[in-house]
């Protein structure tokens, strides 16, 4: 279903090039804000095509900068595009785009880390989950400095059927450092398999759609960049709260080269570690000598289901945090020494 009304086609009128915009508004890149710009509109068109059909869609773009991707999104005949940009120097250039696309572009001068996602899309599009998801997308050439916390936050949002983000299966087309893109899409057994692979793939179908060489950006970053497309699944492959899944996955991967029982043990206080880890693995029917990267999503589903039951029986268990315990132990040792 289209998000609203009849289909419409839209093209921006002729505008100065992105290079001219950068010159006009003196937009030298600032390293602290991870600014690496795409000037080639064929490339930004390619990113936006990978998002799928955007006709009459509602789109949220993160970090529009001088507006290359913004132009490509507007030319895809969206219903509305909301952009959030932290650096005020870009606002006049974006305003120029807004004037060229009346009623289509909303500009927020702010920080994506504090921006409330529910402000990005109309309330009426919430809670469509099954066959008929709303035409709602997040697109962005993300600042590297915030890309991992942002994707974890958005995955958590995707996992929620209620609450502020419940926009159903919001698709996301985002850039990452190539190694992060490879981790997000890594399959079971591969060297790149990590916490990010499991967290993304239990909720979404994840595709590394293409790689952009570093030389395509101005200034050139030290790494190549992967464009990743996320399509949330109709049903998450693990049906447990996000925070619980995150805890299990994080613990397993903190000892990535060891057998999986090592990391799983950290879910339990020391006094009960051996016995509880044994029970968890036995009830979940998981071989304790598998390495973290060899665990499939089904293994994680069984582990999370059993761990959930153990937490239900012992409510202190979920609150237990190995890292905090080790910190406390360290400071106790320190105190003794002093």
Ligand X SMILES: C[S@@+](CC[C@H](N)C(=O)[O-])C[C@H]1O[C@@H](n2cnc3c(N)ncnc32)[C@H](O)[C@@H]1O
Binding-site annotation: residue ranges for S-adenosyl-L-methionine:
36, 38, 63, 85, 111, 141
Name which position in 3, 21, 35, 268 contacts ligand X (CB under 6 A): 35
**307 scored as a contact of ligand X (CB under 6 A):** no
Identify the CA nearest to 221 among candidates 56, 6, 33. Answer: 33
Q: How far is 104 from 158, CA to CA, in rounded Å?
A: 25
Site stretch for ligand X (CB under 6 A), options 61-69, 94-102, 191-199, 278-286:
61-69
Q: Residues marked as binding?
A: 36, 38, 63, 85, 111, 141
- Positions 86 through 105 that interact with ligand X (CB under 6 A): 86-87, 90
**34 scored as a contact of ligand X (CB under 6 A):** yes
**37 scored as a contact of ligand X (CB under 6 A):** yes
Instruction: State in angstroms the smallest separation of the CB of 30 from ligand X.
Output: 7
Helix (H) or strand (E) segment spanning residue 284? helix 273-284
Site stretch for ligand X (CB under 6 A), options 81-89, 98-106, 165-173, 303-311:
81-89
User: How large is the greatest C-alpha to C-alpha distance in the chain, in angstroms?
Assistant: 74
- Positions 112 through 151 that interact with ligand X (CB under 6 A): 112-113, 141, 143, 146
Q: Which residue has the tokens 């469509």?
A: 128
Site stretch for ligand X (CB under 6 A), options 79-87, 160-168, 195-203, 316-324:
79-87
Instruction: State in angstroms the smallest separation of the CB of 164 from ligand X.
Output: 18
Q: Which residue has the tokens 């005020």?
A: 88
Nearer to ligand X, 220 or 323 (CB): 220
Name which position in 79, 84, 107, 228 contacts ligand X (CB under 6 A): 84
HSE-up of residue 261 (Cα within 13 Å, Cβ side): 16
Q: Which residue has the tokens 């320190």?
A: 334
**82 scored as a contact of ligand X (CB under 6 A):** no
**45 scored as a contact of ligand X (CB under 6 A):** no
Name which position in 3, 21, 51, 65 contacts ligand X (CB under 6 A): 65
Instruction: State in angstroms the smallest separation of the CB of 120 from ligand X.
Output: 13
Classify 268 in phi/psi space as left (phi over 0), alpha (psi -120 to 50) or beta: beta
Q: Where are the beta strands (DSSP E) in the chain?
A: 37-38, 58-62, 80-85, 105-109, 136-140, 171-177, 204-212, 217-218, 225-232
Q: How far is 229 from 237, CA to CA, in rounded Å?
A: 18
**284 scored as a contact of ligand X (CB under 6 A):** no
Name which position in 59, 71, 80, 85 contacts ligand X (CB under 6 A): 85
Tell me whether residue 13 is exposed, middle or buried, using C-beta atoms within 10 angstroms of its C-beta: 0 to 12, 13 to 18, 19 or more: exposed
Tell me whether residue 121 is exposed, middle or buried, using C-beta atoms within 10 angstroms of its C-beta: 0 to 12, 13 to 18, 19 or more: buried
**107 scored as a contact of ligand X (CB under 6 A):** no
CB contact at 8 A, 201 and 248? no
Site stretch for ligand X (CB under 6 A), options 66-74, 97-105, 227-235, 256-264:
66-74
Binding site for ligand X (CB under 6 A): 33-38, 63-66, 68-69, 84-87, 90, 111-113, 141, 143, 146
């Amino acid at each position: 279903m289209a998000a609203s009304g009849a289909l419409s086609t839209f093209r921006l009128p002729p505008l100065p090039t992105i290079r001219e915009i950068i010159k006009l508004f003196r937009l030298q890149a600032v390293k602290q804000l991870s600014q690496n710009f795409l000037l080639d509109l064929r490339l930004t068109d390619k990113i936006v095509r990978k998002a799928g059909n955007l006709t009459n869609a509602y789109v949220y773009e993160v970090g529009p900068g001088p507006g290359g991707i913004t132009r490509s999104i507007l030319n895809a005949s969206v219903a509305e595009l909301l952009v959030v940009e932290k650096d005020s120097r870009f606002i006049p250039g974006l305003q120029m785009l807004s004037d060229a696309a009346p009623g289509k572009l909303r500009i927020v001068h702010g920080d994506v880390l504090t921006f409330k996602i529910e402000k990005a899309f109309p309330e009426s599009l919430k809670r469509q989950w099954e066959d008929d998801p709303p035409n709602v997308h997040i697109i962005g050439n993300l600042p590297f400095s915030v890309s991992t916390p942002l994707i974890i936050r958005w995955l958590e949002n995707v996992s929620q059927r209620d609450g502020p983000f419940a926009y159903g299966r919001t698709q996301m087309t985002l850039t990452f450092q190539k190694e992060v893109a490879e981790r997000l899409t890594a399959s079971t057994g591969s060297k790149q398999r990590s916490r990010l692979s499991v967290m993304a793939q239990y909720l979404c179908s994840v595709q590394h759609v293409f790689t952009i060489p570093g030389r395509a950006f101005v200034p050139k970053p030290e790494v190549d960049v992967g464009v990743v497309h996320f399509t949330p699944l109709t049903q998450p492959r693990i049906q447990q709260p996000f925070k619980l899944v995150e805890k299990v996955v994080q613990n397993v991967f903190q000892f990535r080269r060891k057998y999986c029982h090592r990391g799983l043990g950290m879910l339990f206080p020391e006094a009960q570690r051996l016995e509880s880890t044994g029970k968890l693995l036995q009830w979940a029917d998981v071989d304790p000598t598998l390495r973290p990267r060899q665990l499939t999503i089904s293994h994680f589903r069984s582990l999370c289901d059993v761990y959930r039951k153990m937490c239900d029986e012992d409510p202190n268990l979920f609150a237990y945090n190995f890292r905090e315990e080790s910190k406390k132990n360290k400071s106790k040792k320190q105190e003794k020494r002093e």
